[in-house]
Structure 1
């Protein structure tokens, strides 16, 4: 092991928790903060050092808590501020850390700030949000200021009858964007959303939509890519705007005072140099970002669901991972390794084979793959037991996410009565919907609620029936060959060989192989190498040749016989 002194967050493994779906302590059908506290020993047993709690703030829950009505209060079904203080204390007592979601591109339209802003054009907080007058065509018909498409469909502009102007919302209508050009608004955000929680002891933030705060204030139209709709993808226009560096400097000044970590959600940033400017140690903007190359594989645009399942090649996966790993090549930047979160379908169903025959092997292989990549590793709840997508025969009514609902409704509205379109839309959701990550955590095989909540309670979202097929914590904990125990072993291997697996450089091997993903990791001092071989197919495949090394002479660290092998080469 190295004696190099590094920031604590570089070697950390982070476990993401979605409060509504993790564990219900009071049998009301909704997960809560006391439920998280009850499971801290389990989380610690995985070998992780940090928990990331998704938004638990006061919210109308239009977008599952990413529409915040009060940054300093807790959503009542989840608990209280005092519960959060206990969670922070109990996590720290186990030598783990806590990070929270920081959602500050927008608020809920129920936030007191927006209510004031909306009340009149001369209200002192009017300029805290982005308001613009209508455009009128030659016939006098009112229209929005530009043609930008919301992430959830339709225009980004909502007409306000009371003040006769439009406000901007990149996401839901109920999520108005804050005007970051207003210094007073920024200071209020920093105090209410950041400092108030840092003072309570949180150790950092996952920062939602971190590159969207600075928009071009002339709001130019986006190029027309989809002539069938008036609303066009403008993400390359409103992401990475002119004042982003200034805003991140201000935020980092606060975070640095608390030695707090920052990981930003950074979509629509294909320029490697721009990403490096965000995460360079010298630049002091963000510690790291989530790039979406890997999780975007096989998705469509403008709606990711508008595609057939498994619409990608292994070359696409290799290229995506290579791009995020390359951030470390010759730079002082840092990166992340992840393949699941609250916005993604389950990785075993997307990149493995979730049939009863192969899903355990797939889960182990994906564990080995992503735990061997450089950067800070993030695991999403249920990933460690190999949770899979919802059953294909479930009705569309089981899909609760607003993004899923909007996509399906829009597809049917555009093609009424067309069964082929309906089936295609549902297939896209069955493969990629965010709902798959949001079904309750599977603690036991006990029917009907898998230990998430009481058996006689109806949970807020239906529990995946795969819990009865062995995909649950209790059964896997007792099975030495389970995905869960493989994850525990893999995290020990990652920790014991951090110089090569966490900090090493990445090089593809056998790049053109269409079934096997192989790569070499090399420690920065060049003394240690690891060869990773992952078979992403249902067939047996050979281990590729590795120049200059006889694999029989290599030290076999961990062997998942069918799909994954890792060799440490001295």
Structure 2
């Protein structure tokens, strides 16, 4: 940890999607003992914290994001004792554990919803969002579900509709109800009491809905091929002002367990709106996820503009963060190709701010085509043909080149990639030029040099497909040069005596640099200056 900085500022977060990480019992689904068995890989990689996607009891309508018990462990993933062993071992190794928290909706099998739908007079009726039908007997308004169709489900027994932003099996909780809010905060306390180090909070911008239940306006930018929910501008269903009071309440709970507990918020929002999720006087999320690298054109000027805009928008004292992949979006190696994925890894791990790595990106996994009879994702099932399904990015990690990739002794819940015999952890661990070797080298360099983790960011240039910037901390400074093209580029690299500390090709360490520098296709380099004092603070 760099002096004066929290662990989550200097550290690197690694997302584990537990269903696809490691299966320990042959049922084809990853589990908690499987994660425990693979901690050597994560420690050798050099990450500081694991964010684990939901492990709670769930009917699995949306693979764990439909929670039926916020304080338990699904038997599919193991037992509470397994969880406690994993947490203890992580802490023994100096690593942190961040759990997913899903506050926007529960499962329709949750006892709270079962009580809520049992009667209009039940004390938990208002823990969910119920409305009378419109005068014509139809839904109360025009709100749409993210997963297709309308967002209101008729309940014949009680004669009202309930709201679900996602599946009908995922009714939205009513955070305007004080008793519900306190019950959810109590769930956070249960896990904090057990020793977890923080939470990634799911779909936080959906948490509060318009109190007047007004129709969402039509979206003039919607076109065929876009998700149907985008037919409307979600003016009244996301990013409501009251959400920040709820976030502040979560933060107060976390802060009650000490200053090192971390809250991360998932909100796909424009930068100016995202900044509000840091909260007034930084009383919101320490890290509102910044997803903008996922959608920004992979061009030097566009990336430079994004970094400049994001850095300038941060509130005073707000800490940046960057994301290149997760369990919902196409893998970086599929979006950019494996050559540029190496350059992207250097970008992610040398920008100012906390990076989050998605499991498998460290070996260059790509999206896997899923045969129709193997599709699992309800989004794809509800809206087929638009490429919205998330299964291709959730396939199991291949640990070796065997027929099941070392992931399971049974039938994996999703197919492995067709190239897993050569793109796997064991093969890359034995290859000093592999993507895995690059990630290990980047993380090692980042850990050794505070300038690359907590130092200042200074733009240099963005010309001719090459993005150049510097990181500075005290007397130390580094220059990062990223060739974003598949062609050779020559750059006026440095005016001072320097040497290459790391190339994405892993073959130029120690090479002296002065003046112009040739960058090969798909190459990035980190340059260290021989005169540490020159240009330092």
TM-score, length basis structure 2? 0.89
Unaligned runs of 5+ in 2: 506-519, 533-537
Output the CA distance in 2 between the equivalents of 1:232 and 1:315.
31
Aligned partner of 1:302 in structure 2 is: none
Structure 2 CA distance for aligned equivalents of residues 332 and 276 of structure 1: 12
Displacement of 1:321 in angstroms is 4.4
Which residue among 545, 554, 559 is the counterpart of 2:498? 554
**SS of residue matched to 2:76:** helix
Equivalent residue for 2:418, pick from 457, 465, 468: 465
Q: Tell me the residue number matched to 2:295.
A: 296
Report the Cα offset of residue 155 of structure 1: 1.3
Are residue 403 (structure 1) and residue 379 (structure 2) matched? yes
Partner of 1:503: 455
Contact 1:203 1:258 in 2 (8 A): no
Superposed displacement of residue 568, structure 1: 2.8
Distance 2:167 2:46 in 1: 37
The equivalent residue for 1:435 is 391
| TM-superposition CA deviations, 1:122-169 (whole Å, max 9, x none) | 110000001111113xxx4x2212212211111111111111111111
Q: Unpaired runs of 5+ in structure 1?
A: 299-311, 354-358, 412-424
2:262 corresponds to = 261
Return the offset for 1:231: 7.7
* Correspondent of 1:567 among 502, 523, 527: 527
Aligned match of 1:419? none
1:338 has 2:323 as partner: yes
Equivalence map 1:243-258=2 (5 Å): 243-258=242-257
Note the C-alpha offset of 1:177. Answer: 0.7
CA 1:444–1:568 in 2, change beyond 3 Å: closer, same or farther? same
Corresponding residue for residue 509 of structure 2: none
Q: Give distance in 2, aligned partners of 1:219 and 1:337.
A: 34
CA contact (8 A) 1:107 1:176 kept: yes
Contact 2:291 2:322 in 1 (8 A): no
In the TM superposition, what is the alpha-carbon distance from 1:322 to its structure 2 partner?
A: 4.2
Aligned residues: 507
Structure 2 matches for 1:69-468, cutoff 5 A? 69-136=68-135, 140=136, 142-192=137-187, 194-225=188-219, 226=222, 232-259=231-258, 260-268=261-269, 270=270, 272=272, 274-279=273-278, 282-297=281-296, 315-328=301-314, 331-351=316-336, 353=337, 359=338, 361-391=339-369, 395-408=371-384, 411=385, 425=386, 428=387, 433-447=389-403, 449-454=404-409, 457-468=410-421
2:429 corresponds in structure 1 to 477
Does the 8 Å CA contact 2:206/2:239 hold for their aligned counterparts? yes
Q: Relative to structure 1, is the Cα distance of residues 321 and 110 closer, same or farther in structure 2, using a 3 angstrom cutoff?
A: farther
Change (3 A) 1:175 1:323: farther
CA distance, structure 2, for counterparts of residue 508 and residue 155 of structure 1: 49
- In the alignment, the residues of structure 1 paired with residue 453 and residue 91 of structure 2 have an alpha-carbon distance, to the nearest angstrom, of 26
Closer, same or farther: CA 398–441 of 1 in aligned 2, 3 Å: same
SS in 1 for 2:365: coil
User: Match for residue 513 of structure 2?
Assistant: none
1:91 to partner: Cα distance = 0.9
Is the contact made by 1:500 and 1:521 (CA closer than 8 Å) also made in structure 2?
Answer: no
The CA deviation at 1:82 is 1.4
The answer (yes or no) to whether the contact 2:478–2:527 under 8 Å persists in 1 is yes
- Cα distance 1:480–1:521, how it changes in 2: closer, same or farther (>3 A)? same
8 A Cα contact 1:325 1:374, kept in partner = no
Residues 415-471 of structure 1: per-residue CA shift (max 9 Å, x gap): xxxxxxxxxx4xx45xxx422221001100111x100001xx211111112111x21
Cα distance in 1 for residues equivalent to 2:430 and 2:235:
49
- C-alpha displacement of 1:559: 1.5
Worse-superposed segment, 332-341 or 107-116: 332-341
How far apart, CA to CA, are the structure 1 residues paired with 2:379 and 2:24? Answer: 28
Q: What is the distance in 2 between the residues matched to 1:71 and 1:442?
A: 31
Separation in structure 2 between the aligned mates of residue 47 and residue 198 of structure 1, nearest angstrom: 25
Please give the per-residue CA displacement for 1:61-80, whole angstroms capped at 9, x wherever unaligned.
11110110001121111111
How far apart are the structure 2 equivalents of 1:506 and 1:145? 51
Mark the CA change 1:344 to 1:510 in structure 2 (over 3 Å): closer, same or farther.
same
Superposition deviation, residue 404 in structure 1: 2.1
Structure 1 stretch displaced more, 74-83 or 225-234? 225-234
1:521 equivalent among 470, 477, 480: 470
The residue that corresponds to 1:539 in the other structure is 487
Q: Please state how far the C-alpha of 1:291 moved relative to its aligned partner.
A: 2.4
How far residue 294 of structure 1 moved from its aligned partner, in angstroms, is 1.9
Q: Give 3-state SS (helix, strand or coil) of 1:294's partner.
A: helix
Distance in 1 separating the partners of 2:77 and 2:318: 36
Q: 2:217–2:235: 8 Å Cα contact kept in structure 1?
A: no
- RMSD over aligned Cα, in angstroms? 2.3
Deviation of 1:318 after TM superposition, in Å, equals 4.6
Taking a change above 3 Å as real, the CA distance of residues 60 and 297 of structure 1, as seen in their structure-2 partners, is: farther
Counterpart CA distance in 2 for 1:564 and 1:339 is 17
State the distance in 2 between where 1:38 and 1:466 align: 24
